[in-house]
Amino acid sequence: MKTKLYFFFIAFFFISLTSCRQNNEKLSEKVKFTVLYTNDEHGWMEATNETGGAATMAAAWKSIENTEDNVLIISGGDMWTGPAISTWFRGISMVETMNAMGYDVAALGNHDFDFSVDTLRYRLANQMTFPVISANIIEKSTGNTPDFVKPYIIKNIAGIKLGIIGLTTLSTPYTTFPENVKDYYFIPYADAIEKYASKLKEQGADVIIVVGHICSEEMKALAPTAKKFNIPLITGGHCHERIEQSVDGVEIVESGANLENYVKIELEYLPETKNCKVVSSSIIPNTGTVKDEEVAGIVEKWELKVEDALSEDIGYCSQTIDEKSVAMGNMVCDSWLISFPDADVSITNQGGIRQDIPQGSISLKTIVGLLPFENSIVQLELKGSELIECVDNYLLGGMTTIGAYKLSDGSPIEADKTYKVLTTDYLYSADDEFKKYDDTPYNLSVNYRQPLIDWIKSLNTSNSNPLNNYLDNKARR
């Protein structure tokens, strides 16, 4: 009997030793996973002369997924406002495209509010197959996260729990239409991370990363907070930067914009030490030629729809007019004054102009992509001294600030004289200077792109009489 017991204990010892060794080996095994990241897609699903669009990016991602396990696809927000193929359909075309591309989660961007909270809520509840996250947006009436987003999610990947915290730019109240976000405020990024990283740890998250619609300097400033919670990765957006950089051991990345590139980030987690690190990150240009058939079919469907709606040719351009050129800003501002000749001055922002007018025929589709927002023109009455206070950093029509503040006819801006000034309802809402000097603006109920459409049509431009002949290239400030 003693002999049997002896052999039993010996066998038990070796089984226990083997099991312990196997568990220790598992604890020491590195867990690898990959993040594929874009930000500020802005509805650029179509191919361009430089990039292959959504279909080639999706094909590249599927080739990666075929060779690597445990891949996550993440967006840094600002998913839809951009070219007409997205803007005209209030983002639904981009939702379908991103669903097919396999996105797992997106941060909430300021321009994701552009078509109203109700539209955003509907897209999320009924059409999007992935969640949108923001830990720093707070509903004023309740003090809670709004019902249409989550502050974070937990994804199971490679056998570990990955917590993902979302952040939205603090500039949102004045970089989307202010009325759309009047019911919300945005808390500091570090405060949001502190709050939700602790909750994620309590819920068993092995690794935490931050996905933000925030700029590079803001990401860098968050490195100490990230280190406190062993957060190896912060992603960004909003400023359309291309960045891959390690800051005090925390990787910060941003892909640029418009699906021109994506960032591939490879991470390793060691269960034994509960440490996760970024092994490599690289910005990869979207220059492939192989297309994913499903995504290509969705893009083609919406291309046909936008052509049906906006194919009318309204003019001709012999050379591309750059979106940030002096000529472009002057043309937009001057078109307002042509439509409303009783006004003296027009003022708009560079950010309201979103793409070039390419060489060739100009269609309504081009102008909708150029001026994609649902902004109306409003008329203010400002004294000369007040007008001077309001024009800093804006594009101008009807006046110049070079040398002296004067109208386009050369007459000086008189401090006590009242001037009729055109701007957009967006700028009026976002700029306190306008509201301070005129609290009863007159809404002309005309979209800010319509005067440009009307003016281009009136010129009857053609190959022999191109729009470029009518441009003013002289700076006004």
Domains of the chain: 28-300 (3.60.21.10), 311-470 (3.90.780.10)
The sheet with strand 132-133 has its strands ordered as: 132-133, 105-107, 71-75, 31-38, 261-270, 275-285
- Classify 106 as helix, strand or coil: strand
Q: Provide the strand spans (E) within 248-329.
A: 250-255, 261-270, 275-285, 313-317
Is the separation of the CB atoms in 138 and 108 below 8 Å? no
Considering only CA atoms, which of 76, 262, 48 is closest in space to residue 165?
76
CB count, 10 Å around CB of 357?
Answer: 25
Judging by beta carbons within 10 Å of its beta carbon (0-12, 13-18, 19+), is residue 340 exposed, middle or buried? middle
Is the separation of the CB atoms in 205 and 164 below 8 Å? no
Query: Average pLDDT for consecutive 10-residue bins of the chain (477 residues)?
Result: 49 47 55 97 95 96 87 97 97 98 98 97 97 98 97 95 98 94 98 97 97 98 97 98 96 98 97 94 96 98 97 97 98 98 97 96 97 97 96 95 96 97 96 93 96 98 98 96
Residues 6+ apart with CB under 8 A from 411: none
Element (H, E) at 369: helix 364-370
**Residue 301 to residues 40, 45, 421, Cα–Cα distance (Å):** 22, 12, 42
Which amino acid makes up residue 23?
N
pLDDT attached to residue 19: 46
pLDDT attached to residue 308: 97
Please give the structure tokens belonging to residue 408: 């386009």
- Classify 1 as helix, strand or coil: coil
pLDDT attached to residue 28: 58
Considering only CA atoms, which of 65, 60, 92 is closest in space to residue 79?
92
Is the separation of the CB atoms in 184 and 146 below 8 Å? yes
- Classify 95 as helix, strand or coil: helix
Quote the radius of gyration of the chain (alpha carbons, Å). 27
pLDDT attached to residue 5: 47
Which amino acid makes up residue 436?
K
- Classify 234 as helix, strand or coil: strand
Is the separation of the CB atoms in 467 and 362 below 8 Å? yes
Considering only CA atoms, which of 145, 158, 78, 147 is closest in space to residue 111?
78
How large is the greatest C-alpha to C-alpha distance in the chain, in angstroms?
116
CB count, 10 Å around CB of 37?
Answer: 25
Query: Residue 210 and residue 252: Cα distance in Å, rounded?
Result: 10
For the chain, the distance separating the N- and C-terminal CA atoms, rounded to the nearest angstrom, is 102
Q: pTM of this prediction?
A: 0.89
**Residue 376 to residues 205, 356, 440, 460, Cα–Cα distance (Å):** 47, 21, 15, 26
- Classify 116 as helix, strand or coil: coil
